[in-house]
Amino acid sequence: MTIDLATLVERHGTAGVLSVGGAVIGLLFGFFAQRSRFCLRAAVIEFWRGKFAEKLSVWLLAFATALIAVQGLILAGWLDVSGVRQLANRGSLSGALVGGLLFGVGMVMTRGCASRLLILSANGNLRALLSGLVFAVTAQATLAGSLAPLRSEIAGWWTVEGGSARNLLALVGAGHWDGLVLGALWLAVALYFSWRSGNRAWMWLGGLCTGLAVALAWWFNHAVAQASFDVVPVGGLTFSGPSAEWLMRVLANPGASFGFDSGMLPAVFVGSLLGALVGREFKVEGFKDGYSMARYIAGAMAMGFGSMLAGGCAVGAGMTGGAIFSLTAWLALAGMWLGAGFMDRWLAEPIHSLQPVTQQAPIVEQLAP
């Protein structure tokens, strides 16, 4: 396969191969994530409400599959993550925790994380479309705009050196076989919850394939980097950086070279649209009132800032970084679970509601976006 990739890179260029590969993987992720209702927000809400039903089982299936597949690729010698930014570069523990908390709060307010907003947008959800645009603008402002100084200040509170200090397996004296075993344990829990909740075939298949897409992204980027003479940063699936990239591509820099992320993001949209059409679930939806719109916008801003501070979104930090046992990724993921649980409880309490006094009805959201 390395020879084939080398030939493709020689004929079509590194950027072209990365773009096409990103599009294929994005298409698979979008389709199966849509069909399985893959959503961290829904999983977190089920967990904190003690339901342990299908949404939690789908997320656990995806996470465990990504963990097992990535650790298996490393053990087989087909993937080397020692030089990736989530492990090799200096990281921020304060950024991971604060950013994760903010992201978790925001994804409950918008009823979906960054990837879920993109998937719902392709299904005709205008609330998700607007939230996704606000998310992208805030992410870009946090990366290189007016919010960048605040991001740098918070990130500098508590930092960690790259290398073994940022590798969770190394910190506890474990290896990749231990990571594989842990993934198998997660998978056993996921299969139990799936069986108990009576998941449909799409839930099983979608959860597994969503996790495999995360691992496939890691492997493909590494394989292209090995086959190319160009310097190719090895990375995986994420949605915060690519969202900001596409925003600037549309607004200011249409001539920028394409790569994995630029091919992946629109393909996730197309894959989700295909999934909605297959399931006959495409439906145009909007806001019910001004309060809802304000809440979605505020949540999208919290997610945009939080994702850049944490080093990634629910997929980028939570699953992609979590699968390689990056300390900051696991800390960010923990922050997302805590922030989302707190915000769900806050919105479920009428006395703490953000609604106007004249509309004091409880806001207990349904699990399905």
Q: What was the pLDDT predicted at 254?
A: 60
Sign of CA dihedral 263, 260, 14, 28: negative
Whether 41 and 313 have beta carbons less than 8 Å apart is answered as: no
Q: What was the pLDDT predicted at 248?
A: 82
Place of tokens 């699990």: 367
Q: What was the pLDDT predicted at 363?
A: 38
Cβ contacts of 150 within 8 Å, gap of 6 or more: 142, 305
For residue 190 the two structure tokens come to 């996921």
Other Cβ atoms closer than 10 A to 205: 15
Sign of CA dihedral 44, 49, 54, 57: positive
Euclidean distance between CA atoms 149 and 164, whole angstroms? 28
Determine the Cα angle at 56 with ends 55 and 58, to 5°. 65
Q: What is the mean pLDDT of each run of 10 residues along the chain (369 residues)?
A: 69 85 93 91 91 87 95 95 90 94 94 90 90 92 92 94 91 93 92 78 84 94 86 84 83 72 89 89 76 87 95 91 94 95 82 41 43
Cβ contacts of 273 within 8 Å, gap of 6 or more: 30, 122, 123, 282
Angle between helix axes 260-278 and 14-36 (nearest 10 degrees) is 30
Q: What letter represents residue 113's amino acid?
A: C
Q: What was the pLDDT predicted at 293?
A: 85
Q: What was the pLDDT predicted at 134?
A: 94
Residue 149, exposed/middle/buried by CB under 10 A (0-12, 13-18, 19+)? exposed
| HEC assignment per residue over the chain | CHHHHHHHHHHHCHHHHHHHHHHHHHHHHHHHHHHHCCCHHHHHHHHHCCCCCHHHHHHHHHHHHHHHHHHHHHHCCCCCCCCCHHHHCCEEHHHHHHHHHHHHHHHHHCCCCHHHHHHHHHCCEHHHHHHHHHHHHHHHHHHHCCCHHHHHHHHCCCEECCHHHHEHHHHCCCCHHHHHHHHHHHHHHHHHHHHHHCCCHHHHHHHHHHHHHHHHHHHHHHHHHHHCCCCCCCCCCCCHHHHHHHHHHHHCCCCCCCCHHHHHHHHHHHHHHHHHHHCCCCCCECCCCHHHHHHHHHHHHHHHHHHHHHCCCHHHHHHHHHHHCEHHHHHHHHHHHHHHHHHHHHHHCHHHCCCCCCCCCCCCCCCCC
Q: What was the pLDDT predicted at 25?
A: 95
| pTM of the shown model | 0.89
